[in-house]
Structure 1
Amino acid sequence: MKAGIGRRLWGAGVALLFSVAATPVWAETCVIDDADREVCLAQPASRIVALSPGATELVFAAGAGDQVVGVVSFSDYPPEAKQRQSVGSHTRLDLETVLSLEPDLLVGWVTGNPHEQLEKLQRLGMSLYLSEPRRFEEVATSLERLATLAGTRERGQVAADEFRAGVGELRERYADASPVRVFYQVWDEPLMTVNDEHLISQAISLCGGKNVFGELPRLVPRIGEEAVLAADPEAIVAGGMGEENRDWLDDWERFEELNAVRRDNLFFVPPSLIQRPTPRLLEGTRILCDHLETARGRH
């Protein structure tokens, strides 16, 4: 009798041992975000809320699109992102909706989200990764770090490697290109541009261009039309109020004294391809490089 009980207990112990061994064990995973903060998760994120359109693109590109449960307005890429629950805009989050989604990871925007709302979410126990790549390489490392937190490392690594390779090809192709003096218009009213710390200016440099306002102290400085006339760029590049809206460029055609106007060097790049720090920045930079190559031919 006792022997039978012993055998049953031994069998139960072996079964329990195999059950434990078959259960995935995740060590705590930590990364450093773009605000130089350590972000740690006990398990891979399974419910992610992205708090900017750029963050949404990065998470999907890192292979974690299936884990995204919430996004902000204008999160229009990839198309699947439009099917996710809206949590307000990046400038005003709907905290009640964010909390109702029970996220285990928020991906915020360093300078784009309201600090007080991010702080409140953290006080409520939310894990927050702050994103704002400022260099091409940081786009690649963002993919790697987000993939690490989401448990999609292989897919994130592939995306990061492809991005690095594409940037390397452009850097080699335009390394000896003659410089083109460029004004990039990021907004119309007030008139705004970018300095050399901005990713857009680094894209200009990658294509062999020179940002005529690159030395200004602010990342996104306000300027006047007079400043553009004084700088007299060889090319003017702009996005617009939409992916196909060239109205901002049309406004410059009245300044016939500008070299960019005389040479017909008024170029459009869809804003989502160059104003978001995501892998699609590579596509936008290729378009920009083609435009600047056209400008070179009109010297």
Structure 2
Amino acid sequence: MRAIGKDQAGYVVLAVLMVLGLWGCSKRHEADAMETSSQTRIVSLAPNLTEILFALGLEDEIVGVTRHCNYPPSARQKRQVGTFWQPDIEAVLAQRPTLVVTLGFEQQRQVALRLERIGCATLTLEIDTVDQLYESILTLGRALARNEQAQALVARLSDAQRQWRQRKPAVSPPKVLWVVQREPLRVAGTKTFINELVKTVGGVNAIGPTLHFYPPISAEQVLAAQPDVIIEPTDEPAHLDDQRRLAEGFYAAYRSVPAVRNGRIYIVDGDVVSRLGPRLDEALEHIARCVWQE
């Protein structure tokens, strides 16, 4: 007997799922039924999408998340269906979803297309700016019969954003260098939502206009930028003290930079500040404390 290859084995698994009726995928035109059905089963393929769904009161309807979905804490109790970058389609289908929610970047867009070909209802959202975050929250509210909750969430977040914008500091805006990677050094440019958040609380991007979203920069560019504040998000918030010590050692070579000279290097929780989601108000608070030493 000829052995079954890996790709063939995957199709066999999908065929078995179909025969046994183990998945609940519906065609896109049938998705409206989930608005009032108690059998709504949602798979979320991004941490910020998971946070939004929880914030809309859909905890019980969520049947699958990625390994990176760690907030709120109860999200860790949900069945995992692969990673943010590489969702496991078989694991997704095994949860019998009535809706799979994805982001719009290429890897997840391809996953959504494959799921739609199989017959799953999917909802792909672009969340690269604050305005897109608000629109995505409202879109989920409409799709999942949570209009009132969605509108209240957007109102809360936009009010926080508006309050920060209305503040009028009496001093020049501090120059902020937002470092996403040390080796090689890579920073958030002016075309990112990070830049939008820094600007909202009264700071200015130290690196100036950039062609790329997260450009690599040289040591000479750091010295020329003369940032007043350096902010680094970390994906290990449980070890902030260790991360701070490592950062101090790394930036010791930049003693002529005001942020280093004045001890204004901040290591912050990346899960809070680097996700566009329902904790936007908390992210703005974190960033403002760094920018203004509050």
TM-score normalised to structure 1 length:
0.79
Corresponding residue for residue 283 of structure 1:
282
How far off its partner does 1:196 sit? 1.9
- Residue 182 (1) aligns with residue 176 (2): yes
Corresponding residue for residue 133 of structure 1:
127
Corresponding residue for residue 95 of structure 1:
89
Q: 8 Å contact 1:239–1:246 — kept in the other structure?
A: no
- Residue 41 (1) aligns with residue 26 (2): no
Q: 8 Å contact 2:231–2:268 — kept in the other structure?
A: yes
Corresponding residue for residue 116 of structure 1:
110
Corresponding residue for residue 249 of structure 1:
247
Corresponding residue for residue 164 of structure 1:
158
Corresponding residue for residue 149 of structure 1:
143
How far off its partner does 1:40 sit? 8.2
Q: 8 Å contact 1:187–1:193 — kept in the other structure?
A: yes
- Output the CA distance in 1 between the equivalents of 2:184 and 2:29: 37
Instruction: Deviation per CA, 1:97-135: give whole Å up to 9, x if none.
Output: 101111111111222734433321121122222223233
Q: 8 Å contact 2:41–2:96 — kept in the other structure?
A: yes
How far off its partner does 1:90 sit? 1.2
Q: 8 Å contact 2:102–2:109 — kept in the other structure?
A: no
Q: 8 Å contact 2:102–2:108 — kept in the other structure?
A: no
The worse-fitting range, judged by mean Cα deviation, of 101-110 and 81-90 is 101-110
Q: 8 Å contact 1:48–1:67 — kept in the other structure?
A: yes
Instruction: Deviation per CA, 1:134-183: give whole Å up to 9, x if none.
Output: 33233222222111111122222211111111111111124765211110
Total equivalences in the alignment: 258
5+ residue gaps, structure 2, are 1-27
Question: Which amino acid in structure 1 is aligned with residue 149 of structure 2?
Answer: R
Instruction: Deviation per CA, 1:240-261: give whole Å up to 9, x if none.
Output: 2411233563221332111111
SS in 2 for 1:86: coil
More helix by share: 2
Q: 8 Å contact 1:188–1:248 — kept in the other structure?
A: no
SS in 2 for 1:254: helix
- Residue 268 (1) aligns with residue 262 (2): no
How far off its partner does 1:94 sit? 1.0
- Output the CA distance in 1 between the equivalents of 2:252 and 2:282: 27
Compared with structure 1, are the counterparts of its residues 256 and 53 closer, same or farther at alpha carbon in structure 2 (3 Å cutoff)?
same
- Output the CA distance in 1 between the equivalents of 2:166 and 2:273: 20
Corresponding residue for residue 80 of structure 2:
86
Question: Which amino acid in structure 2 is aligned with residue 246 of structure 1?
Answer: R
CA RMSD of aligned residues (A): 2.2
5+ residue gaps, structure 1, are 1-37
SS in 1 for 2:33: coil
Of the three residues 47, 54, 65, the one matched with 1:53 is: 47
SS in 1 for 2:131: helix
Compared with structure 1, are the counterparts of its residues 94 and 229 closer, same or farther at alpha carbon in structure 2 (3 Å cutoff)?
same
- Residue 198 (1) aligns with residue 192 (2): yes
Q: 8 Å contact 1:47–1:104 — kept in the other structure?
A: yes
- Output the CA distance in 2 between the equivalents of 1:61 and 1:185: 29
How far off its partner does 1:230 sit? 2.3
Question: Which amino acid in structure 1 is aligned with residue 226 of structure 2?
Answer: D
SS in 1 for 2:293: helix
Moved over 6 A (4+): none
Corresponding residue for residue 14 of structure 2:
none
TM-score normalised to structure 2 length:
0.80
- Output the CA distance in 2 between the equivalents of 1:55 and 1:234: 33
Corresponding residue for residue 236 of structure 1:
230
Compared with structure 1, are the counterparts of its residues 113 and 134 closer, same or farther at alpha carbon in structure 2 (3 Å cutoff)?
same
Highest Rg: 1 or 2?
1
